[in-house]
């Protein structure tokens, strides 16, 4: 938002960068992750803090790892 002076543009650019950083997972997954990034950007704008999104991201990654481990066994 600091670069664009626009909340929607800033959120979209951040989401695109977030998705692009995950391109190693493939285009489809990176697109879904970019969408998640947009949702987290909206959350950050709404709450005026990145902390709720960071916590949500950490929970998602942690639970994903636990569920993945359980499903394998």
At residue 71 the predicted structure's pLDDT band, cuts being 50, 70 and 90, is: confident
Instruction: Please state the domain count of the chain.
Output: 1
Between 52 and 1, where is the model more confident? 52
Cα atoms in the Cβ-side hemisphere of radius 13 Å centred on 40: 23
The 8 Å CB, 24+ separation contacts for 46-55 are none
**29: in domain:** yes
The answer as to whether 20 is a domain residue is yes
Q: Which residues contact 53 (CB under 8 A, 6 or more apart)?
A: 40, 41, 43, 44
When pLDDT is cut at 50, 70 and 90, the band that residue 7 belongs to is very high
pLDDT interval class at 2 (50, 70, 90): confident
Mean pLDDT of the chain: 90
Residue 41 counted as domain residue = yes
Residue 27 structural domain:
7-72
| pLDDT score at 68 | 79
How far apart CA 13 and CA 38 sit, in angstroms, is 9
């Amino acid at each position: 938002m600091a670069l664009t002076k626009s909340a929607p543009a800033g959120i979209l650019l951040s989401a695109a960068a977030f998705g692009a950083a995950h391109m190693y997972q493939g285009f489809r997954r990176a697109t879904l992750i970019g969408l998640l990034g947009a949702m987290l950007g909206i959350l950050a704008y709404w709450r005026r803090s990145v902390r709720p999104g960071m916590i949500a991201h950490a929970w998602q990654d942690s639970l994903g790892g636990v569920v993945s481990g359980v499903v394998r066994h």
